């Protein structure tokens, strides 16, 4: 079976690379990991920040296709295992915390 995976989606020391507990099926292959990139303000259009911070699945279905490598579709997001969408949502929510606060939290 083919695996749909790019080098950017291969988990390494990239803290935004996430290995899925349950790989997504796509055609003949599967997606085993995705990498998130921090969204720009324009990519947040049509989404309330509070929805993302509350890990709202509908908001994640809108945003994740815009910021994932390989690019997930809304259908892919709907098919994610609950543990995987939770992990992706938590990582997305962390993008909205100021860098200085994240660093302080990591050293505590």
- Structural domain boundaries in the chain: 2-107
Calpha distance 93→38 (Å, rounded): 10
pLDDT of 63 reads 97
Q: Is the pTM here over 0.75, yes or no?
A: yes
Calpha distance 36→80 (Å, rounded): 15
Residues of the chain where predicted confidence (pLDDT) is lower than 50: 1-13
3-state secondary structure of 16: coil
Q: Pick the closest to residue 97 from 64, 55, 53, 65 (CA basis).
A: 53
CB 35 within 8 A of CB 8: yes
Encode pLDDT of 47-61 as tens digits: 999 999 999 999 999
The burial of 28, by beta-carbon neighbours within 10 Å (0-12 exposed, 13-18 middle, 19 or more buried), is given as exposed
């Amino acid at each position: 079976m083919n695996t749909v995976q790019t080098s950017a989606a291969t988990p390494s020391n990239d803290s935004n690379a996430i290995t899925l507990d349950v790989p997504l099926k796509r055609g003949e292959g599967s997606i085993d990991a995705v990498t998130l990139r921090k969204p720009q303000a324009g990519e947040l259009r049509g989404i309330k920040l509070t929805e993302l911070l509350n890990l709202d699945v509908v908001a994640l279905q809108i945003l994740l296709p815009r910021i994932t490598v390989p690019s997930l579709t809304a259908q892919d997001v709907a098919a994610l295992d609950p543990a995987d969408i939770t992990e992706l949502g938590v990582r997305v929510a962390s993008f909205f915390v100021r860098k200085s606060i994240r660093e302080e939290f990591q050293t505590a």
